[in-house]
Amino acid sequence: MDSTQLALLALLLGAVIGGSVSTGIVIALRARDRAQHETSSAIPVGIGEVMQGMEDAAVVVDTSSTVLAASTAAIPFHLGEGDVVPSDELRAIARRARAEEAVITATLRLQRGAPPAEPRLVVVRASRISPRLTLLVLKDITERERVEQMRRDFVANTSHELKTPVGAVSLLSEAIESAADDPDQVRHFAGRLQAEAARLALLTSRIMNLSRLQAADEFTDEREVAVDEVVAAAADAHAIQADAAGVRIDRGGDRGLYVRGDAQVLGEAIGNLVANAIAYSPRGSHVGIGVKGVDGVVEIAVTDRGIGISEADQERVFERFYRADQARSRRTGGSGLGLAIVKHAVQRHGGEVRLWSRPGRGSTFTIRLPLIDPPADQVAPPRRRAKRKKKAPATPAAPPTNGATV
């Protein structure tokens, strides 16, 4: 073998050896990187910045369930940086996501804030970042679930309430047919049929009104509303009911006040309070409607000297279809929706409803709405209070009623 061949052979052998060494070095470096990746708890670049921009709660946890990074929304769930994940279920989801190298989704109830705050319903999405790190994203769906439950309850309650008048109409129509030869019985059943039909119409109307208040984003006829006009309209609309019940409606308080909203909706809300006050007042008593403007707020108080409401029932009277006195509501044709409509109507106008009541002494419902300046084309009369009439000797039903004579 000559020198040229030896040189070529040596060159080839050097290339092989060099390639083997290089390959070994590359493999060693990759193994080192893999080992560092598997044992490292360093958060990849950019994840922390993305988490801070998230509205949902998000955290990165390691194998010991310690929070290494957290979004602002995660802190109320006791998942701040350096905290240990407090929920066993949440820790189990993180371990499962790392072990299966898959995205795991589950729905849990987690405590947000300090007890006695109620647990929140959250959807948890866990995904593996590295062998030691897991990303947990928590979406709070408590309010969405509550709204869905309210809708389901509303449909169920509505169906139940509609069954009674519909069934009564069917039975009374059969009774009228059976009593065709007895004019007195026909008139009796026809009167009851008319009453049930009116009750059904009222219930249907109130269901539609409540649905409209809950569904609409804004009022179609929003404008400056004169409180005097809506109060007068509500009182006039229930004058016949008051006369039939032997109850007098008195008005008083400040005049010339304005709010912004839908006059029809506000009139219906006040009218519902007046109708309830009349229905639950004894014959010969008074129902007062008082108006007062104070600190940028208009207060419209409706007071009666009726049977009053117990403290336990006061917490629930604004719920849909809830009746504090079932038997009396049936006799008066109550739908159980009037106060719910009042609550939603007032809230849609940026206000609130307050209740004062004592059993045997009566009740006062106070609507509070933001006060606005009168329209430019209206000359605001000086505020004045109606002349107070001589009160009956009976014990006052409630605290001052905004100028109303009761």
- Rounded CA-CA distance 364/305 in Å is 9
pLDDT at 29: 66
Element (H, E) at 170: helix 142-178
Mean model confidence pLDDT for the chain: 79
Band of pLDDT at residue 387, cut at 50, 70 and 90: very low
Quickly tell me which residue has 């052998």 as its tokens.
13
- Rounded CA-CA distance 3/277 in Å is 121
pLDDT at 315: 75
Give the alpha-carbon dihedral of 146, 152, 156, 157, to 10 degrees: 30
* Residues 385 and 250: beta-carbon distance below 8 Å: no
Residue whose C-alpha is closest to residue 252's, from 386, 382, 364, 366: 386
pLDDT (average), residues 108-114: 84
Q: Domain 143-215's class?
A: mainly alpha
- Whether the predicted pLDDT of 91 surpasses 90: yes
pLDDT at 386: 45
Higher pLDDT, residue 223 or 161: 223
- Whether the predicted pLDDT of 329 surpasses 70: no
pLDDT at 39: 53
- Whether the predicted pLDDT of 390 surpasses 50: no
pLDDT at 207: 66
pLDDT at 35: 55
pLDDT at 287: 93
Identify the CATH homologous superfamily for domain 47-140. Answer: PAS domain (3.30.450.20)
Element (H, E) at 357: strand 352-358
Three-state SS string over 225-294 comes to: EEHHHHHHHHHHHCHHHHHHHCCEEEEEECCCCEEEECHHHHHHHHHHHHHHHHHCCCCCCEEEEEEEEE
Band of pLDDT at residue 218, cut at 50, 70 and 90: low
pLDDT at 42: 72
134 — phi, psi (to 5°)? -135, 135
Token readout for 66 is: 């310690």
Residue range(s) in the chain whose domain bears CATH number 1.10.287.130: 143-215
114 — phi, psi (to 5°)? -85, 150
pLDDT (average), residues 317-336: 56
Residue range(s) in the chain whose domain bears CATH number 3.30.565.10: 222-406
Quickly tell me which residue has 């014990």 as its tokens.
395
Residue 34, judged by CB atoms within 10 A of its CB (0-12, 13-18, 19+), counts as: exposed
- Whether the predicted pLDDT of 101 surpasses 50: yes
- Residue 263 is which amino acid? A
Token readout for 75 is: 């802190």
| 250-292: pLDDT as tens digits | 999 999 999 998 888 898 889 889 988 998 889 999 999 999 9
Q: How many CB atoms lie within 10 A of CB 60?
A: 24
- Rounded CA-CA distance 295/372 in Å is 11
Whole-structure pTM value? 0.51
- Rounded CA-CA distance 229/271 in Å is 12
- Whether the predicted pLDDT of 320 surpasses 70: no
Using alpha carbons, list the distances in angstroms from residue 251 to 113, 248, 259, 340, 404.
47, 10, 18, 24, 5
Beta strands across the sheet bearing 67-70 = 67-70, 57-61, 134-140, 120-128, 104-110
Give the alpha-carbon dihedral of 231, 233, 236, 242, to 10 degrees: -50
Least confident of 52-56, 113-117, 400-404: 400-404
134 bridge partner residues: 61, 128
Percent of the chain exceeding pLDDT 90 equals: 26
pLDDT at 38: 53
Residue range(s) in the chain whose domain bears CATH number 3.30.450.20: 47-140
pLDDT (average), residues 177-184: 82
pLDDT (average), residues 124-142: 91
Following DSSP, what letter does each residue of 173-205 receive, concatenated? HHHHHHTTT-HHHHHHHHHHHHHHHHHHHHHHH
Higher pLDDT, residue 303 or 315: 303
pLDDT (average), residues 132-140: 91
Band of pLDDT at residue 396, cut at 50, 70 and 90: very low
Percent of the chain exceeding pLDDT 70 equals: 75
The pairs formed by 112-118 with CB atoms below 8 angstroms and a separation of 24 or more are 112/76, 112/77, 112/140, 113/76
pLDDT at 343: 87
pLDDT (average), residues 171-180: 82
CA dihedral sign, ordered 262, 264, 268, 270: positive
- Whether the predicted pLDDT of 10 surpasses 50: yes
Using alpha carbons, list the distances in angstroms from residue 75 to 84, 85, 174, 230.
12, 11, 65, 48
Is domain 222-406 classified as CATH 3.30.565.10? Answer: yes
